[in-house]
């Protein structure tokens, strides 16, 4: 095993404990929130401001687990925002059926992007900004590239546009969820019903990444130059799952882009450093609302 992979695995193990403590957070806020179903997708909305925000979860993620601090902060009374998140098809409460991690003829994340647009359209939001975490960032890239008329701004973190040899080696090393921390697994088993279900879904996700890699490795790299909206890339410098080369790729191929690094940030930077993260996102959105 290479030193880089060892380092990433060690970081992943320590990060998993922290993610278990912070990632799967319950929404308790001063904001009023509501849930609804759109085309079979579970959705949550908070706030009543003019600027609509869409939060797209990462792999195996859901509205209730991935964006508690963002729904609370941006959905609070008087914030100026209406924040929406949804469980991607096959995740969380947007089941049955479970996720289909197809890569052909269309990558499942492109389907998620289309679902995201239809959710916002059904809720009456013709123009909105997108916040995408990890896989949700890939869906956000597809959405911004294909619906420039709808996406005002794009914010992504923990997101990669391609799959490398090192990525595959890392994914395979962490494929067995028996090696994950209890704090990481418990929230997922609560959502998916059993450890066996979590393992089956995670293994299917890993298999889809292997298939993408064997097909050339492109996730959404070809879409990057098509993005026209202002884009903010946030990077946790201690992200065990995302080497800086992926962030450099995004930054180098998107035109109107800004990058912010969190020196102590990991894959869940928006949860561990929620207050600072939300402030940076707000400042970015406000700047481009006024420009």
Comparing 87 with 6, the larger pLDDT belongs to 87
Mean pLDDT for the chain overall:
90
Over residues 71-99, mean pLDDT = 96
**Least reliable range by pLDDT among 20-34, 206-220, 257-271, 277-291:** 20-34
Q: Which residue has the higher pLDDT, 192 or 30?
A: 192
- Average pLDDT in the 203-213 region? 97
Whether residue 14 has pLDDT greater than 70 = no
Tell me the mean pLDDT in the region 43-57.
97
Cβ atoms within 10 Å of 37's Cβ, excluding its own = 14
Amino acid 291: pLDDT: 55
Q: Which of 5-19, 217-231, 255-269 has the lowest mean pLDDT?
A: 5-19
Poorest-pLDDT segment among 21-25, 109-113, 265-269: 21-25
Residues labelled as active-site residues: 134, 239, 267
The encoded tokens of residue 18 equal 């922290």
pLDDT of residue 182: 87
Q: What is the pLDDT of residues 146-160, one digit of tens each?
A: 999 999 999 999 999
**pLDDT (0 to 100) of residue 31:** 60
Residues in a beta bridge with 154: 130, 231
């Amino acid at each position: 095993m290479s030193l880089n992979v060892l380092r990433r695995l060690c970081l992943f193990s320590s990060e998993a404990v922290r993610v278990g403590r912070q990632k799967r957070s319950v929404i308790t806020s001063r904001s009023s929130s509501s849930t609804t179903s759109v085309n079979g997708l579970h959705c949550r909305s908070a706030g009543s401001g003019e600027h609509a925000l869409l939060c797209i979860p990462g792999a195996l993620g859901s509205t209730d687990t991935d964006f508690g601090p963002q729904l609370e902060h941006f959905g609070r009374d008087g914030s100026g925002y209406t924040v929406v998140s949804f469980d991607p098809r096959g995740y969380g409460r947007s089941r049955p059926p479970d996720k289909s991690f197809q890569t052909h003829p269309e990558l499942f994340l492109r389907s998620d992007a289309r679902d995201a647009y239809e959710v916002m359209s059904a809720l009456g939001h013709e123009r909105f900004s997108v916040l995408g975490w990890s896989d949700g960032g890939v869906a956000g890239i597809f959405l911004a590239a294909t619906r420039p008329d709808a996406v005002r701004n794009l914010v992504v973190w923990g997101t990669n546009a391609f799959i490398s040899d090192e990525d595959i080696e890392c994914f395979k090393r962490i494929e067995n969820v028996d090696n994950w921390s209890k704090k990481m697994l418990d929230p997922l088993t609560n959502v998916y019903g059993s450890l066996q279900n979590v393992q089956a879904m995670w293994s299917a996700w890993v298999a889809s990444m292997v298939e993408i890699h064997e097909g050339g490795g492109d996730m959404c790299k070809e879409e990057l130059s098509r993005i026209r909206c202002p884009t903010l890339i946030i990077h946790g410098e201690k992200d065990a799952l995302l080497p800086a080369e992926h962030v450099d790729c995004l930054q180098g191929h998107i035109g109107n882009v800004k990058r912010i690094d969190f020196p102590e940030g990991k894959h869940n930077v928006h949860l561990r450093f929620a207050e600072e993260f939300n402030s940076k996102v707000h400042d970015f959105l406000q700047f481009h609302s006024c420009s």
